[in-house]
């Protein structure tokens, strides 16, 4: 079938193709805008996630620092307490040593007195034996 007006079917054919391309181009533009909007949303989400991550890192560092300080204080208190107890034990041992030394000196003094008294008793027994012992004449 030939068209009554020469070249009108070619124009119609190109108008349909041109219209199709315009529609495709419009759809591509809409998709492009959607992709750009989605990309911007993702960028905002990524930025927010990074901000949250940095905030959490800061909080963790702060918690670790606080925990380390508390632990150091705890260790220092325990070490100080141990040192105090060691000093107390040394003082107690020294006090005990002094007390024991005094007891030993008291015992030594008592033994010296006992020794002196035993010498006196021996001398008295020797005199008594000499006085009571009658030797037969020879």
Q: Which residue has the tokens 């054919």?
A: 13
pLDDT > 70: percent of the chain: 87
Going by the DSSP 8-state scheme, the letter that residue 119 receives in this structure is H
Question: pTM for this one?
Answer: 0.45
| pLDDT beyond 90 at 30 | yes
Contact between 9 and 3 (Cβ < 8 Å): yes
CA atoms of 130 and 65, how far apart (whole Å): 95
């Amino acid at each position: 079938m030939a068209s009554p007006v020469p070249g009108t079917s070619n124009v119609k054919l190109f108008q349909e193709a041109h219209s199709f391309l315009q529609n495709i181009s419009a759809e591509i533009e809409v998709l492009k805008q959607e992709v750009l909007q989605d990309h911007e949303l993702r960028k905002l989400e990524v930025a927010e996630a990074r901000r949250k991550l940095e905030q959490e890192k800061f909080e963790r560092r702060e918690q670790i620092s606080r925990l380390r300080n508390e632990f150091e204080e705890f260790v220092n208190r325990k070490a100080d307490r141990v040192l105090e107890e060691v000093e107390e034990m040394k003082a107690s041992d020294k006090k005990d040593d002094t007390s024991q030394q005094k007891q030993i000196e008291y015992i030594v003094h008592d033994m010296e007195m006992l020794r002196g008294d035993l010498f006196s008793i021996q001398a008295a027994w020797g005199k008594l034996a000499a006085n009571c012992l009658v030797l037969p004449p020879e």
